[in-house]
Structure 1
Amino acid sequence: MGFFLETLIGGLMTGVLYSLVALGFVLIYKASSVFNFAQGVMVLFAALAMARFSEWIPQWTGIESKVLANVLAFMVAAVLMLILAWLVERLALRHLVSQPEATLLMATIGIGFFLEGFGQSVFGSNVYNIDIGMPKDPLFVAQGLFEGGILIDSQELVAALIATLLVAALVLFFQKTSTGRALRAVADDHQAAQSVGIPLARMWVIVWFVAGLSALVAGMVWGSKLGVQFSISTLALRALPVVILGGLTSVPGAIVAGLIVGAGEKLSEIYLGPFVGGGIEVWFAYVLALLVLLVRPQGLFGEKIIDRV
């Protein structure tokens, strides 16, 4: 039982990080009906920016405190994501707002390739470290209930807590602030939102910036665990089944689906992997998403679309 709980808890903590990446997809799709295929590269770009600026800022300013350097690097990377959001709206969305969804999808693919090349040119292509002081020693809990206790990776625990705090902040932002309510109105009906004076262009910049912040936190956490390398851009492929499972328009769906996928991957690899030769963790989430699509094409929490003719 103790080993099962270890696996389950580890999967849930990984699932929180999947949810963080999936939130970027959901937020942008809700606000602008654009499936942002560049979200994974945004995670890479933001992580590269923070990793490199955390190295450069002490050299430029003489700051010796690693904590302060990381805070300043995070702020600079956040500003870069804001500039990126403004450029995307100004150069792409504004001109493609009435185009078919396939055109917008291709635009995000182009943005992704540009960011990947631009990031490599500016920040370099080596593997970089982000040291935010995450503990590395394992934790043993419930030693009185199970022999030897339950082993928890402290890095994953801190990462999950950071992701949880961001998700909670996003929920409060959308529920309690006037800007968040305006974004929800834009998500429900673009034309109705415009008719009551909500500026779509500004809302799109905000939602792309919020998605960029989610990408920054995800990149910071993954970079701290594994190092910032270009394979981080494939993280979006791991989050795609989460988006499909939870529903493209549901923020709670992205969170719950991330937990389901994270726990399911770990448990299936441990308990089913030996019977199928291993590697089940790679395709489990996609098969699960496919099975859900056969029953609920809109996902577990997505809105059912009814076309009237």
Structure 2
Amino acid sequence: MIADFDYQFFIEVLVGGLLSGVMYSLVAIGFVLIYKTSGVLNFAQGAMLLFAALTFVSLVERGVPFALALVATFAIMVAIGIAIERTVLRPLTNKPPITLFMATLGLSYIIEGAAQLIWGTQVHGLDLGIEDVPLEVGGVLISQFDIFAAVVAAGMVLLLSLFFRYTRIGLAFRAVADDQFAALAVGLRLPLIWATVWAAAGLVALVAGLLWGARLGVQFSLSLVVLKALPVLVLGGFDSILGAIVGGLLIGASEKLAEVYIGDYFGGGIESWFAYVVALVFLLIRPSGLFGQKLVERV
């Protein structure tokens, strides 16, 4: 049986899963940025992703040049992120986590409604100029679009990592993530840091929205991509960018391999729910995730 195993096909499935996992990681990072600094599970991230993709494709269809549409959409997403932080979440500072979660859940519906009001409900095709055709790399067939998406997502992750590690605002972000009260004590301006983080989340939503919109089409179900990020966060940890990357790779690879090699035993379609089974099992073993900080409560 081992001699009959098709290793080349296995590598193709594995690589395809890893490349998909990079795109999952990109969505998950939007959650991590907000949660790490404010403790808010931003369920509006999916709606922001949808709004970004819909805004961009609508501008392009109206004759706006690609580059200008990209810049305009980026400015809009930054403005939305800052507006959310100032008008909704800042007044709810120090409220119970369930209150903040419900606020972001309500925001997701408001943003989707605004997108429908401004741009309409029709489905759009999004062409980034990259064809989804297989390329042969070392004898392994890999989707050209998957390679492009993985490179863009990896570049975004690297850019954010460098920004938060080597800039002053990045150092402040890390200080707030470690201890908000200590950060306040040394004079750091939390509102400015939160606004910057929400602006970064808007940028992540734009990049993720374009990549997922090009793959799935720009439609309102695109906001459900956010659900794919939840198993990633469970595995990697809700407060770790590295965890979002590793968790995305693990989820992407495991669900592809499961669909191909054991999907027939479950009647097919296992890829749509297998990640949640993995996440549930992982919650029972390590609730804080691979890289998440363990909560210590003093009684």
TM-score class normalised by the smaller sequence:
over 0.9
Residue deviations 1:276-309 (CA, integer Å, cap 9, x gap): 2112111111111111111111111111111111
1:137 aligns with 2:133: yes
The alignment status of 1:36 with 2:42, answered yes or no, reads: yes
Task: State yes or no: 1:86 paired with 2:76.
Answer: no
Which position in structure 2 is the counterpart of 1:52?
58
User: Equivalent residue for 2:142?
Assistant: 152
SS in structure 2 at match of 1:152: strand
Is 1:2 aligned to 2:8, yes or no?
yes
- So what's the TM-score if we normalise by structure 1? 0.92
Q: Which residue of 1 aligns with 2:197?
A: 207
CA distance in 1, matches of 2:133, 2:279: 35
Q: Shift of the alpha carbon at 1:137?
A: 3.1
RMSD: 1.1
Identity of aligned residues (%): 52
Please state how far the C-alpha of 1:74 moved relative to its aligned partner. Answer: 1.3
Which residue of structure 2 aligns with residue 22 of structure 1?
Answer: 28
Letter of the structure 2 residue corresponding to residue 105 of structure 1 = F
Question: Please, which runs of 5 or more residues in structure 2 have no aligned partner?
Answer: 1-6
Provide Cα deviations, 1:3-58, integer angstroms capped at 9, x if missing partner. Answer: 10110011001000000000011110001110101111111011111111122243
1:67-117 C-alpha deviation (Å, 9 max, x unpaired) = xx2221111111111111221122111210021111000100111000000
Q: Give, as a single letter, the amino acid of the residue that structure 2 aligns with 1:123.
A: W
What residue is the counterpart of 1:121 in the other structure? 117
Counterpart Cα distance in 2 of 1:239 and 1:129: 23
Q: 2: distance between equivalents of 1:256 and 1:295?
A: 17
SS of the residue 1:160 aligns to: helix
Verify: 1:108 aligned to 2:88, yes or no. Answer: no
Partner-residue secondary structure (3-state), 1:97: coil
Give the distance between the partners of 1:56 and 1:212, measured in 2 at CA: 23
- Aligned with 2:141: secondary structure? strand
Q: What amino acid is the match of 1:239?
A: A
Q: TM-score normalized by structure 2?
A: 0.96
Which residue in the other structure is 1:62 paired with? none
Q: Which 4+ stretches in 1 moved above 6 angstroms?
A: none
Instruction: Give the number of equivalent residue pairs.
Output: 293
